[in-house]
Amino acid sequence: MPLPEKHPMRFVRWRRSFFWKYLKCIPRPKHLHGTWLHRKLGDSLLLPALWQPERKKVAAGFALGAFFSMFPMPLQTIAAVFFGYILRVNLASAMVAVWISNPVTTPAILFVQFKIGQAILGHSPLSQQDPAQTFDLIAILKEAPAAILCGAGVTGFLLSAISYPLALWLWDVLSAKIKKQ
């Protein structure tokens, strides 16, 4: 019995695949309906073009979300959705990619960003300073925001540059796997 036109075979394949249990957890437009973000941006936030999974738009959304995941700021998801809305990338993949930085990974990410920022700004590492100044907490805290933001910009750019081709490759691998089923 042929499937109706409204349900293309690729949708049925996704639903029957092993990955469906993960894909059904991705945010959808119905989750944003009625939120304050929907009230501010209007119904154009819920356009199907921003939510349909297309290869390049998903990869671009993932790269955008990966970029914002590296910045130590609250409400990273809202920033990723706002810029994704402006750039017309897949919003669901941008929201998912923001969770690269989560409560488990954030301390390690901040440490790496601090070290990268120190190296870029030309500050000497704390281990090479005079032992009397090593425990000068106020000097460390004055230096930390600039170093972390500088390191966040570098790591955000690098991670987004890596995640775009990685997302394209992963799309191809998953599509091939689903087509085999």
Q: ∠ CA(9), CA(11), CA(16), 5° rounding?
A: 95
Name the pLDDT band for 127 (thresholds 50, 70, 90): low
- Asked if 89 and 47 touch (Cβ cutoff 8 Å), the reply is no
- Asked if 118 and 90 touch (Cβ cutoff 8 Å), the reply is no
Q: What are the structural domain ranges in the chain?
A: 49-180
Q: Which of 9-18, 63-72, 106-115 has the highest mean predicted lDDT (pLDDT)?
A: 63-72
Q: What is the pLDDT of residue 60?
A: 95
Taking the C-alpha atoms of residue 117 and residue 154, their distance in angstroms, rounded to an integer, is: 8
At 104, the amino acid letter reads: V
Q: Is residue 7 pLDDT above 60, yes or no?
A: no
Q: What is the DSSP letter of 104?
A: T
Taking the C-alpha atoms of residue 7 and residue 111, their distance in angstroms, rounded to an integer, is: 48
Q: Report the share of the chain in percent with pLDDT over 90.
A: 28
Q: What is the pLDDT of residue 125?
A: 59
Residue that wins the pLDDT comparison between 51 and 100: 100
- Asked if 80 and 98 touch (Cβ cutoff 8 Å), the reply is yes
pLDDT tens per residue across span 162-175: 999 999 999 999 88
Which region among 73-82, 120-129, 152-161, 167-176 has the lowest average model confidence (pLDDT)?
A: 120-129
